[in-house]
Amino acid sequence: MNPKRAIIVGAGHRALLYAGYSKIAPEKLQIVGVADPNPLRREAAAKLFGFGPEMCFESAETLAREGRIADFIINGTMDHQHLPTSRPLLKLGYDMLLEKPFAVSEAEVFELLELSRRYGNTVMICHVLRYAPFYRGIKEVILSGEIGEVFDIQMAELVSYHHVAVSYVRGKWGNQIKCHAPMLLAKCCHDLDMMLWLKGKRPEFVSSFGGTFIFDPAKKPPGSGKRCLLDCPLVDDCLYSAKGHHIDHPERWSFYVWDSLEHIENPTIEEKIESLRTDNIHGRCVWDCDHDNVDHQLVMVQFEDGATASLHMTGGTAKGDRSIHIVGTRGEIIGNFDDEAFTVRTIVPAAPTGFHERRVSFEQHEDTTGAYGGHGGGDLRLVEDFVNRLYGEPASISATTIADSVLGHLLVFAAGEARASMQVVDLRQRLAEHGL
């Protein structure tokens, strides 16, 4: 079996992580090139994966001029770059592993769908949580029929105060005009995708509420400055002080916070402090930056069979967390992602309690954080499944098609529309128009 040959487009954190599957399964995957406008990242990728400068390209367009010189693309560009960088490569026939979210508008969603249909590409969106043993185990229970027909799903994602600050207030996804993606798209398209995957039916109606509460500029503490380490007297006490987040914990979210120092091999703490004092976006006051994203949002969905589901996204919590409660006609599943376990309860009238209960745990017998990466072990299991599909093996129960991912992304845009209009959005006609 010859290894599949892949080229990285956008050599950031996520793409390099996915490409890391080549290190644990070199017989299946070989990384043979990179396209990235940053010469430091091109050089680092070439050194990491062992290819020469002739396979380093400045852009997806430059790469496309070479024709098809590999089997597939690992596209890890920024959200708004996904479609422009994918378009010329899909036309050449490349298959593609594409980071989520794969589009930043409804028009882009349908264009990518039509491109993949026209050119026959295998395109998988990186909904890695489908591959976490926790969620895969829940799907297996649903498919077994143990809890009957699912008619309600309640999901919650709690985004910790340091995560919401680094990514969705100060960071790359803090401003929708700059990143082109609302927080629900950037953070929760995972969750909405899983909602659809676990239910297995078409969504028809969407409503949503939410807004900015914690990070409303009107709530900026009196007397605070513009930069935590430069002019703020609250630097040692504020819950969102850049000192407390990134100097006291310099490794926390380091791949985001210190990317402006990537030209320095091992930056000192003094260099990091100076960075936060001057031009590093993560040194800004959270109430005095160009943030315009929501910090909490509720999404409610009704499916074609009348079943319902909800997602609560809440930013600024003490601890990040994901929880789920699925109710079926014969029982229910209740679980917490961080616990790496869920409980299955089934209706048993003859039992003293009226139900039977069992616990399903993955903590002891599954590698959820080691060789298979983060997201509960889902990161590299997704890559493994994608590569196996290219070899002609059957898709796993976690596998997603581009049409599946279209539905999840449409939920995001419909939720934004519903929140802005304070009305229920009907998806039926637009889905029918695109054969979904």
Sheet containing 321-328, strands listed edge to edge, beginning at the edge strand earlier in sequence: 355-361, 341-347, 331-336, 321-328, 150-160, 308-317, 296-303, 203-211, 425-426
Residues 245 and 387 in one domain: no
Residues 224 and 339 in one domain: no
Q: Is residue 109 part of a domain?
A: no
Greatest Cα-to-Cα distance within the chain, rounded to the nearest angstrom: 71
Mean pLDDT score across all residues of the chain: 93
165 neighbors 289 (Cβ within 8 angstroms): no
- The whole domain housing 222 covers 217-283
pTM: 0.90
Residues 303 and 193 in one domain: yes
CATH no. for residue 407?
3.30.360.10
pLDDT in tens, 3-32: 999 999 999 989 999 999 999 999 999 999
Residues 419 and 366 in one domain: yes
Closest CA relative to residue 180, chosen from 416, 434, 424: 416
> Given a cut of 70, is residue 129 above it in pLDDT?
yes
Residues 69 and 148 in one domain: no
Residues 403 and 348 in one domain: yes
Distance, in Å, from the CA atom of 414 to the CA atom of 423, rounded to the nearest integer, reads: 10
> Given a cut of 80, is residue 373 above it in pLDDT?
no
In sequence order, what DSSP letters do the residues of 83-141 get, joined into one string? HHHHHHHHHTT-EEEEPSP--SSHHHHHHHHHHHHHHT--EEE--GGGGSHHHHHHHHH
pLDDT of residue 366: 45
376 neighbors 14 (Cβ within 8 angstroms): no
Q: Is residue 330 part of a domain?
A: yes
**Boundary (domain end) residue, out of 283, 316, 340:** 283
99 neighbors 77 (Cβ within 8 angstroms): yes
Q: State what percent of residues in the chain have pLDDT above 90.
A: 84
Kindly state the tokens that stand for 434.
């695109």
> Is residue 162 classed as helix, strand or coil in its secondary structure?
helix
**Boundary (domain end) residue, out of 263, 283, 303:** 283
Q: Is residue 105 part of a domain?
A: no
Contacts of 16 (CB under 8 A, 6+ apart): 8, 45, 48, 76
Residues 355 and 393 in one domain: yes
Residues 179 and 328 in one domain: yes
| Residue range 279-298: mean pLDDT, rounded | 94
Residues 73 and 172 in one domain: no
pLDDT in tens, 140-170: 999 999 999 999 999 999 999 999 999 999 9
Q: Label residue 376 by pLDDT band (50, 70, 90).
A: low
Number of domains in the chain: 3
Kindly state the tokens that stand for 111.
């264009």
Residues 362 and 381 in one domain: yes
pLDDT of residue 23: 94
CATH no. for residue 59?
3.40.50.720
**Boundary (domain end) residue, out of 54, 77, 99:** 99
